[in-house]
Structure formats: C-alpha cells, structure tokens
Amino acid sequence: MTSLPLHTRYVTGLQAVTPGASAYLQPDGHYGLNNAGVFWTPQGAVLVDTAFDVPRARHIAQAVLHSGRDHSQIAALILTHDHGDHSFGACAIPTPRVIMSSTAATALREAAAGTRVRYGSLHGAGREMMETLLADKFDFTEVKYRAPTETFQGEARFGFGATTLRVIEFQNLHTASDSIVVDEEQHVAVMGDLMFADSHIPMFMPRSRHWSAAMDQVLAMDLEHFIPGHGRLCSRDDVRAHRDYLLWIYDEAERRFRRGMPVSAAADDLVMHLGPYAHYQRADVLINSLDTLYREISPDHPRSSFNEHLAQRWHFRMRWRGKLPGLTDPLPLNTRLGGFRTLSEMNMLGAGTE
C-alpha cells in the first residue's frame, strides 16, 4: 500500500493527493464543512462536490482557478449526492457542465422546492439543534438551485481529453443515491458521504449491511487514495476501518434492540461502550443512527420526522455535552440565529428551478 504524501495535512484549502488529483479540505469536518475533490485533466479541472454556501464555494473555485495549472478552467462539476453541504454551492461554480445521478438530481430538485418550508417549520428542540449546527458559519443568502446539465444511472465514464473518470452510483446507503468518482490511473477515489474520517456516521437509510458490502466493492478496486466527504484524507486501511465500523454499529444496535432498549437508552448505553471508536467525533449522531438501525432490524420501528430527528439529537447532546468528543456547550442564542435565519429564507426557488 502506498502511503499518503507526508506533506498532506488536515488544513483548510487545496491539498495535493497525487500529481493528477487534489482535495479541498474544510476542517473540522463537522456539519456543513465537507471536502471536495479535484481531478486535473487536459481539458481543465473536474471538481467533485462544492460547499454549503456561496462564499465557501467561491473560495473553492478560486483555489482551483488560481492553482497555477496549465488548464485551470473548471471543465465540469460532478455532484456525489443531494445534501446541501455538497451541492448548494453549485450555483457559484463557473462551469458549463454539472453532472449527477438521475436519482440524486430528482432528490436535489425536490429538496430545493421544499427547503424554506422544511427549515422554516422547525420548532422547539429541533430548531435549537439546527441553530447550533449552523452556528452562524454560513451565509445562504446567495444560494440558488442549479439543475444538472447531465445525468446518469448506475455507472458512467466521462472523458476529459486523456483522462477518464469513472462515476459509480450506490443507492439507498447514506442517501437515495451516492456516487463515488474514481480516476483509475491516479488510484484516487472521491467518496462523497459514503465515507467519513474519524467520525460517527449519520445514517438515514436502514441499509448499513449493504453499505459495508459497498466498501468491500471499493476495496476490490486498485485504489490507494481516498477523499472522504468529511475529515482528513484516507488510505485503504481507513476504508477497511470504515467498513468494520459499519458492521460493528449494526451489531451493537441489534444487541440493544433485542434487549428491548428504547433508542434513547440504547444511545446512552452505547456511548459508554464505544471501545476503539471512543475518540470519534460527531457522537451526537449516534442516536439518529441507532434510530435508523432499529428500522433496519425491524421495519415496524417508526420513522422520525425531520424535526424529531433533530430534537433527538439535541436532547442527547444536552445529556452528554462536554463528556464526548465534539459535544460542547451550545453557543449563545444571538450567535446562532443568523445562520438559521438565512437558511430558512434563502432563494432556493430562484433562477434555474424547473
């Protein structure tokens, strides 16, 4: 196995992965702070994913355009899935081509149509959680929906001069459709949110065993470098660890489900028995992931609404703040309101919506 370059550090900005691929990293990788990938091709840069808001997306675009490469225009933007941190900034990327799976494109269009209602209707603990997650880190006032110009299903190959990128879709794992983008010659994969580094994984689909099998498919490819959706750059060993985590958390959820433990009690018990994962960030997503895993074990387990999902996380966070990695006291109210307000009022129904 080839190690990652020694100069690669988890710091904000464009980081070289191989001569033909880079990553744009956004520490600390928590909510909304995702990574993007860049493949340097003879026709220009191919950007994989963008950012949660327009200012951050512009920073990514400028880093690519001023990289000093001979072909520094952005030839295309490939979106791995519909979640806002990876897709909302698409409107700020200067490229004629936007590519994503047809399933993800439908999900993004539907999300755009309902964004203001979805966030504006949050209340109580659900609203408190969203305000804390945003913490005024983002400015959504310029976000507008941008439709993809090209879609695909299953798997596709896109040529950019002598460079061919392989885009592989996986359905109903993290979202209804998540793609990875692979440069086989560079041995690099941009994983989107099918992989997080050193972090508990937010699960929304009751398909963890299929997700772990997808990681085995990735490991069967001749790849050495992996750009996760959030966190530091990764190696094959990290992909194996990610697969093993998925198997572990399913087993832990099933054990507690069979004992008749409610989700909230199961989450409280699990955080006291994390073993090798005690250092992982985002511990507050465990309660939501257990809720989803209970549905995987028993389809009769009720599904939480968006507000209930956030409220679960808020109450768990309040019980464990300061005791687990990444769970600090909430920010003062006047610090939190700005980001939430702009998100609930952003112009996702602006130019380009069909």
Tokens 């539907």 belong to residue: 110
Decide: helix, strand or coil at residue 65.
helix
Contact 123, 90 (CB under 8 A): no
Q: Who's near 257: CB < 8 A, 6+ residues apart?
A: 266, 293, 294, 297, 298
Q: Who's near 298: CB < 8 A, 6+ residues apart?
A: 257
Q: Is residue 347 part of a domain?
A: no
Q: What's the CATH code of the domain at 136? A: 3.60.15.10
Contact 76, 307 (CB under 8 A): no
H-type helices in 154-285, by residue range? 208-219, 236-258, 263-270
Q: State how far the Cα of 92 lies from the Cα of 143, in Å rounded to an integer.
A: 8
- Parent domain of 192: 13-328
Q: Is residue 337 part of a domain?
A: no
Q: Is residue 258 part of a domain?
A: yes
Number of structural domains in the chain: 1
Q: Is residue 6 part of a domain?
A: no
Q: Is residue 334 part of a domain?
A: no
Q: Is residue 342 part of a domain?
A: no
| Residue range 226-265, pLDDT digits in tens | 999 999 999 999 999 999 999 999 999 999 999 999 999 9
H/E stretch holding 221: none
Q: In whole numbers, what is the pLDDT of the chain averaged over residues?
A: 90
pTM of the model: 0.93
Q: Is residue 133 part of a domain?
A: yes
Q: What is the mean pLDDT for each group of 10 consecutive residues in the chain (354 residues)?
A: 53 95 95 96 97 95 92 92 96 97 96 83 89 82 92 98 98 97 98 96 94 98 98 97 97 98 97 95 94 97 94 94 77 53 57 38
Q: Is residue 340 part of a domain?
A: no
Torsion of CA 6, 9, 71, 184, to 10 degrees: 60
